């Protein structure tokens, strides 16, 4: 693989791990469990940076019709469900456990595609998806000490991720580019999160948060927003420059790197069965990628 293809993948991994760790730090270590405020800050910063970089010509964002934006609204709602439930789940669950459950979104995606488009699957892909699903279920049942709420939010998260991928696949790519889709996601999320901040009590909770004047809190929130924005840019760059299979490989490597490093950064005590479930889950994820490559060849 040429250096021009490796560098975008490495940058994607760096931003992926950095974004994951800063989010985990703010949500778990600092215990800032107010997702409407936290995600509102991230989406507002992302929308502002995307708009500014578009105006400066650093990224390409064209004007789009109102009908195109309206047609993308269901995906924006799924995006909001993705980031909101993801924040709730990540604040409770260890990083490796979070990714094990998130990988089930590929199973949700495959089931929805088979149901809506009547696509057939190979025995290898079915086997690998069962590995992913069964390892995730076993891990969840064996680690109920993390709390039921974390798993409930994780299930909502993986359903939103899988459904979003299906909607994105079925939408007409000529209407909106990836960055234009993301801009709409940001705007819709800002509006809905701002509306929900007061009824959920997150607004008052954030104002009374004891670390709100701490430099660690401010720097963590700032870093999470910036890294999340660069993660979006790097993922779009990766998607436009490589095939979907190569992108899946880089995402797989980023998850492995984040899961492995998180054990040394965040406190986590895993037993043999939990480690086995994590290993089997990632093996299943790798087999899913291989099965997709076989189907496309």
User: Is the model more confident about 116 or about 38?
Assistant: 38
CB 294 within 8 A of CB 122: yes
**Average confidence (pLDDT) over 244-265:** 93
The residue whose two tokens read 């989406």 is: 43
From the list 42, 7, 103, the residue with the least C-alpha distance to 229 is 42
pLDDT tens digits for 11-32? 999 999 999 999 999 999 888 8
CA–CA gap between residue 74 and residue 167 (Å, rounded): 8
From the list 180, 217, 196, the residue with the least C-alpha distance to 69 is 180
What pLDDT does 155 receive?
Answer: 96
**Average confidence (pLDDT) over 156-160:** 96
CA–CA gap between residue 45 and residue 224 (Å, rounded): 10
User: Is the model more confident about 196 or about 134?
Assistant: 134
**Average confidence (pLDDT) over 72-86:** 95
What pLDDT does 165 receive?
Answer: 93
CA–CA gap between residue 288 and residue 229 (Å, rounded): 28
With cut-offs at 50, 70 and 90, classify the pLDDT of residue 119: confident
State the angle between helix axes of 178-197 and 35-55 in degrees (0 to 180), rounded to the nearest 10.
140
pLDDT reading at 84 higher than 90: yes
What pLDDT does 172 receive?
Answer: 61
User: Is the model more confident about 83 or about 36?
Assistant: 83
With cut-offs at 50, 70 and 90, classify the pLDDT of residue 286: very high
With cut-offs at 50, 70 and 90, classify the pLDDT of residue 243: confident
Pull the structure tokens for residue 43. Answer: 């989406």
pLDDT reading at 1 higher than 60: no
Largest CA distance in the chain: 56
pLDDT tens digits for 140-151? 999 888 889 999
CA–CA gap between residue 262 and residue 115 (Å, rounded): 36
Q: What pTM, to 2 d.p., does this model score?
A: 0.92
Burial state string for 29-47 with b = 16 or more CB within 10 A and e = fewer than 16:
ebebbbbbbbbbbbbbbbb
Give the DSSP letter of residue 175: T
Helix (H) or strand (E) holding 164: helix 148-170
């Amino acid at each position: 693989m040429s250096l021009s293809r490796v560098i975008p993948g490495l940058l994607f991994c760096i931003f992926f791990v950095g974004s994951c760790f800063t989010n985990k730090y703010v949500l778990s270590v600092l215990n800032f469990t107010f997702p409407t405020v936290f995600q509102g800050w991230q989406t507002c910063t992302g929308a502002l940076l995307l708009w500014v970089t578009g105006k400066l010509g650093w990224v390409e964002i064209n004007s789009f019709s109102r009908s195109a934006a309206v047609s993308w609204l269901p995906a924006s709602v799924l995006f909001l469900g993705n980031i909101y439930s993801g924040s709730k789940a990540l604040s409770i669950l260890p990083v490796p456990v979070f990714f094990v459950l998130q990988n089930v979104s590929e199973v949700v995606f495959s089931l929805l595609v088979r149901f809506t488009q009547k696509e057939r699957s190979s025995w290898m892909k079915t086997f690998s998806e069962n590995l992913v699903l069964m390892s995730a279920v076993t891990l969840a049942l064996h680690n109920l000490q993390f709390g039921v709420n974390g798993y409930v939010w994780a299930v909502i998260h993986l359903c939103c991720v899988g459904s979003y991928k299906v909607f994105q696949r079925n939408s007409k790519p000529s209407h909106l580019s990836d960055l234009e889709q993301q801009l709409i996601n940001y705007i819709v999320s800002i509006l809905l999160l701002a509306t929900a901040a007061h009824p959920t009590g997150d607004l008052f909770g954030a104002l009374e948060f004891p670390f709100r004047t701490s430099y660690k809190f401010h720097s963590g929130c700032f870093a999470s927003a910036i890294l999340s924005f660069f993660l979006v840019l790097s993922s779009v760059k990766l998607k436009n420059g490589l095939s979907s299979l190569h992108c899946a490989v880089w995402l797989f490597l980023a998850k492995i790197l984040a899961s492995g490093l998180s054990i040394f950064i965040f406190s986590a005590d895993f037993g043999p069965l939990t480690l086995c479930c994590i290993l089997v889950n990632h093996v299943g994820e790798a087999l899913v990628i291989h099965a997709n490559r076989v189907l496309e060849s």
